[in-house]
Amino acid sequence: MQNSKIFTNDNCIGCNRCIANCPCEEANVAVMENGINKIYVDGSKCISCGECIRSCTHNAREFTDDTERFFHDLRSGKEIAVIAAPALRSNFTDYPRVLGLLRSMGVKYLFDTSFGADICTWAYLRYITKNNVTGLVSQPCPVIVNYVEHYAPEMLSKLAPIHSPAMCTAVYMKKYKNIPGSYAFLSPCIAKQDEFVDRNTKGLISYNVTYKKLEEYMQRNGIDYRRAPEDHYDNEQNGLGVIYPTPGGLKENVEQYVHDVWIHKVEGQPNSSHFLKGYGAVMNNGETPFLVDILNCPHGCNIGTGALCTEDDGLRVGRSMNRAKRQAQESVQVTKKQKNHIPGPSFDVFDRQLRLDDFIRTYDNKKAEKIRVTDADIERAYIALKKHTQTERNFNCSSCGFSTCHDMAEAVAKGINHVENCAEYTKSVIREQSQHMEELARQREAQAQELRASVEQIFQALEESANKTDRTLQDARDIQNQIVRMNEISERLRDHVVALQGEIQKYTRMSDEIVDISVQTKLLALNASVEAAHAGQNGMGFAVVADQIKLLSDQSQQSAKRAANANEIVNPVLGKVHDISDDVLNEAHTILDRVESILAAFDVISKMQQTISETASGLLGDN
């Protein structure tokens, strides 16, 4: 997409008014950016008519000109002469002070295009007379030239081959006045820049300085032109060329010299583009006008695309032009013999001083190639737009900016628009989404019913689980209590085993003492037996007693040894019982710890069950 002098800024909301008012069907390209429809300008298709700027209510369209470059070059010392359009009078009420400001800034020559308009009128009439042609389309307006070259090249032969008033002024300055340096045009028109860069105008004018940008520049730089001294133009007195900026201005100028001819007047878009589209066919069927006076702007150049004046200033503009017209007429000293004298320079003077060929120009066929699409492409676009029936395809609401759904489908097929820009498409999407939402709602209701049933099952399961948990919790607590009691029994058993071990140890010590006493008793019995033997018959009874004591000592020693042996067997068993008691006690403590953990876990489970129950209750409440 080629850049254009007219461009879209960030204010664009995609309202499509620019598309609706543009006379060039492919000059606007709609794209979706971050969910917002944005309309951009394709410079290769734009004719700089400014309709999009005029129709935009969001200040989303702007334009560029040569104002900044002009002042930069002027400050740099470059020699620049200024040509001012007649509309300067209506757009700056103190326009002589504008001239004074420019003179003070280094502009040496100031020329009024009104004089060039007089030359333009002379050139039109001389060319028509010389070549015996009628039906020519006037071209003071560069937008008209742009349209014919790009969209109606079959009309090129009918486009008057005469320079515009601005270019006639520039030719006159260069060839007849030898004005040096570059030329700048103070302009009410954005499209003049297209005219000046056209190879057929030879680069005579280097700057298009629009009134809007001129005022913006002065405000931005703190320049008040009303403080400047008044100044005047350097060229000769003009005639009615001063009213060229008004609708029918050319017509009125021509009618001064040629009477009783049909001059057809066309103003504004879309009138001018519609006229040019059909003029070729009409020309071949019946009478044609002497000349077509056609302008792009409905109120003329005074309220042009780069002008300060708006439609609200119509009366003020008319007053200004009428004053300029009277001044032109009053400049001629009318005598009784000169009642019919025409204001302004004499054509006889022009005939003597000027060469018609110097003011002739040519045009180029710059036909804007349309993006080619097939019927199949358009059909696919219709389907993408969700337009399936003839009724849907002929809704023609124009909200997309196009007059028909077919035009919109064609634009979508060409890739210069998108389906979201169609109101009916959006409605279809909303309807589908609504139906989808209804289906989702039905599915949600069904899911809610299933969820309700599932939640009820959860409630039942929770209730059963809670009951089982309570029972298990009670069993765990019973186990805990039993383990506590078992711990107590184990501790008592261990205490008894320890006590028994102590008693056995006492008994073992007593057994050892008995063995010692038995040994001593046995020794005493042996001594007694020896003594009894020594006593003979008298010691017989004592010997019997000694034998019995010895026998008793042996028996006591054997019993004590058996008791000691038994103790040796019992003590390890008691040790094992003691160890087992310790193991039982340790295991009991471990089990007790685990039971406590289980109880804590059951407490957590109980809380979780409570939370689940509350959540389930909430779900039931929501559904």
Please list, residue by residue across 311-335, b when 16 or more beta carbons sit within 10 angstroms of its beta carbon and e when fewer do.
Answer: eebeeebeebbeebbeebeeeeeee
More confident residue, 609 or 167: 167
Phi, psi of 130 (to 5 degrees): -65, -40
430 CB burial (10 A radius; 0-12, 13-18, 19+): exposed
Please give the Cα distance from 73 to 67 (Å, whole number). Answer: 10
Digit-coded pLDDT (tens) for 212-254: 999 999 999 999 999 999 999 999 888 899 999 999 999 999 9
- Range of lowest pLDDT (334-348, 436-450, 476-490, 588-602): 334-348
Q: Residue 536, Cβ neighbours under 10 Å: how many? A: 8
CB 209 within 8 A of CB 66: yes
CB 244 within 8 A of CB 344: no
Give the chain's domains with CATH numbers. 1-64 (3.30.70.20), 65-359 (no CATH), 375-421 (no CATH), 451-622 (1.10.287.950)
Q: Strand order of the sheet with strand 291-295? A: 136-137, 291-295, 263-267
Mean of pLDDT values over 133-155: 94
What pLDDT does residue 495 have? 81
Digit-coded pLDDT (tens) for 584-600: 778 778 877 877 887 78
Mean of pLDDT values over 53-77: 97
Mean of pLDDT values over 538-551: 72
What pLDDT does residue 334 have? 45
- Range of lowest pLDDT (6-20, 22-36, 534-548): 534-548
Phi, psi of 477 (to 5 degrees): -65, -40
CB 501 within 8 A of CB 571: yes
Mean of pLDDT values over 594-608: 78
What pLDDT does residue 336 have? 38
The pTM assigned to this predicted structure is 0.73
What pLDDT does residue 450 have? 85
What pLDDT does residue 456 have? 77
What pLDDT does residue 618 have? 75
**What pLDDT band is residue 502 in, cutting at 50, 70 and 90?**
confident
What pLDDT does residue 590 have? 84
